[in-house]
Amino acid sequence: MLFEPITVGALTLPHRVVMAPMTRSRSAQPGDVPRALNATYYAQRASAALILSEATQVDPRGKGYAYTPGMYSDAQVEGWRGVTDAVHEAGGLIAAQLWHVGRMSHVDFHDGAPPVSSSALAGPGKVWLGGDQPFVPTSTPRALRTEEIPDVVATFGRAARQAKAAGFDGVELHGANGYLVQQFLSDAVNRRDDAYGGSVQNRIRFAVEVLTAMCEVWAPDRVGMRVSPGLGVNGCDESDPVPLYSALCDAVNDLGIAYLDVVEFYGPPKHKPESPNDVQRMIRERFEGRYLANGGYDLNSAERALSRGDADAIVFGKPFISNPDLPRRLREAAPIAKWDKATFYGGEEAGYTDYPCLE
Ligand SMILES: Cc1cc2nc3c(=O)[nH]c(=O)nc-3n(C[C@H](O)[C@H](O)[C@H](O)COP(=O)(O)O)c2cc1C
């Protein structure tokens, strides 16, 4: 089934091997601008059914890692235009993943000011300041004031508009992996007592407002959202994933977005659970758009998930780093080249555009 076509909202995909959003920290500096090398990388992977771009900050305040690209300046739009043109010329489709890291950041990215979050609780993870500097602990954030939230929501609307100007085929909200959107969803992190904290309806409010802003720019059938329910990444534990994501499913059904990109698992294929867990099963049943499944999939588990009806398409991450022609390799059951973690973030061609295709 991996090689049967499918529609995802307005997009017709020729098969179901989707490329995951992956930060590679190789934008041009200063300015966090996509460049020709990035266009080459994405065009090499245009045989994906759909490429989800690396996470792209909607605003300078949404940045947390060195050399990640943005979607707010004219130069960035022009840089992204080079990427989308290259992907389209190679016959592919590409959606932009829109990102605000919230507390997963450092004062050095913000002229000494603290990053922002739902609450003033520091995250457990580390961020990269760039160059030879090591990964450093995140800075303690300050809680966004209620009256500031509409401005943050508006940055997503503006970035969605910029993504349209840059020629993308759609936009994906990064609501996963412990970044700002999930810092509102998570009851471990969100300690607010205003309309954005407490009940599940309040905790989904920020996500829904952001998606609404994105759907004012793009038809909802070109909007998706990434979630990582219950995984607790970057300290965003959720004590109640089923009711929380049930409420989110209902809200995004009302908006009519095209898909949810569900991170189900982090780890190697051999440790991946065979069956979906409760929250994943609930999303599959309740959400009316397409279910794109991600996390530790290989050819066999992908085919099994599709044939059982657990997913509509499979999102592959690391295998796409080291196999630019991954769909062909899966179709031919050819060997999958191993990726080199040392070149995931930063640098030039090595470990980025120099992985070969099959002869
Ligand atoms: C180098 C690297 C960068 C990543 N960057 C992002 C990102 O920008 N946005 C995101 O949602 N997930 C990101 N992820 C997570 C992947 O999209 C994916 O969820 C993860 O790799 C699990 O899928 P896999 O087992 O197929 O690799 C990243 C993963 C890696 C390895």
| Nearest alpha carbon to residue 57 among 143, 131, 152, 135 | 152
Q: What's the pLDDT at 310?
A: 98
179-211, pLDDT tens digit by residue? Answer: 999 999 999 999 999 999 999 999 999 999 999
The Å distance, Cα 20 to ligand 1 centre, comes to: 6
- pLDDT, average across residues 227-244: 97
Mean pLDDT of the 277-288 span:
98
Ligand 1 atom with minimal separation from the 174 CA? 11
Tell me what pLDDT residue 51 has.
99
Mean pLDDT score, 135-160: 97
Residue 263, CA distances (Å) to 177, 210, 246 in order:
9, 20, 16
For residue 125, pLDDT beyond 90: no
CB 148 within 8 A of CB 196: no
Give 317-327 pLDDT, tens digit per residue. Answer: 999 999 999 99
- Stretch 228-246: mean pLDDT: 97
- Round to whole Å and give the CA distance between 255 and 243: 19
Q: State how far the Cα of 184 lies from the Cα of 206, in Å rounded to an integer.
A: 7
Report the DSSP pairing between strands 135-137 and 126-128.
Answer: antiparallel
Question: Do 252 and 287 touch, CB atoms closer than 8 A?
Answer: yes
Decide if pLDDT at 131 tops 90: no
Q: Which of 231, 222, 345 is nearest to 296 (CA)?
A: 231
Instruction: Compute, in angstroms, the gap from residue 321 CA to the centroid of ligand 1.
Output: 10
Atom 5 of ligand 1: nearest residue by CA position: 22
Question: What pLDDT was estimated at residue 110?
Answer: 97
| Residue with more model confidence, 357 or 267 | 357
Is 55's C-beta closer than 6 angstroms to any atom of ligand 1? yes
Mutation probe of ligand 1 site: the residue of 2, 16, 18, 22 with most atoms within 8 A of C-beta: 22
Burial class (CB in 10 A: 0-12, 13-18, 19+), 40: middle
pLDDT value at residue 201 = 98
pLDDT at 264 over 90: yes
Which domains, from first to last, does the chain contain?
6-343 (3.20.20.70)
Mean pLDDT of 163-167: 98
Question: Ligand 1: distance of its center to the CA of 93 in Å?
Answer: 19
Cβ(235) – ligand 1 distance below 6 Å: no
Average pLDDT rounded to a whole number, residues 164-188: 98
pLDDT score, position 269 = 87
Taking residues 290-300, report their average pLDDT: 97
Which of 211, 150, 216 shows the shortest CA–CA distance to 175?
211
What's the pTM value of the predicted model, to 2 decimals? 0.98
- Report the pLDDT value the prediction gives residue 196, as an integer from 0 to 100: 98
Cβ–ligand 1 contact at 233 (below 6 Å): no
The pLDDT score that the predictor gives to residue 54 is: 99
Give the active site residues. Answer: 179
**Which residue's CA is the closest to the ligand 1 atom numbered 2?**
22
Query: What pLDDT, on a 0 to 100 scale, did the predictor assign at position 133?
Result: 84
Tell me the pLDDT band of 17, cut-offs 50, 70 and 90.
very high
Neighbours of 278 (CB within 10 A): 11
Atom of ligand 1 nearest to the CA of 296: 25
Ligand 1 binding pocket includes 21 (Cβ within 6 Å): yes
Ligand 1: atom nearest CA of 177 is 11
Distance 247 CA to ligand 1 centre (A): 26
Residue 195 CA to ligand 1 centre (angstroms): 31
* Any atom of ligand 1 within 6 Å of the Cβ of 318: yes
Kindly state the average pLDDT of the residues 294-304.
97
- For the chain, what's the residue count? 359
Give the closest residue (by CA) to ligand 1 atom 29.
22
pLDDT at 135 over 90: no
Per-residue pLDDT band for 67 (boundaries 50, 70, 90) equals: very high
Report the pLDDT averaged over residues 39-62: 98
Ligand 1 nearest-atom number relative to CA 344 = 1
The pLDDT score that the predictor gives to residue 3 is 98
Q: Which of 17, 23, 226, 339 maximizes ligand 1 atoms within 8 Å of its Cβ, making it the mutation to test the pocket?
A: 23
Q: Specify the pLDDT at position 19.
A: 99
277 pLDDT higher than 90: yes
Ligand 1 contacts CB of residue 317 (under 6 A): yes
| Residue owning the nearest CA to atom 6 of ligand 1 | 22
Query: Tokens at residue 41, please?
Result: 């990388």
Give the range among 38-52, 250-264, 265-279 with minimum mean pLDDT: 265-279
Cis peptide before 356 (omega within 30 of 0): no
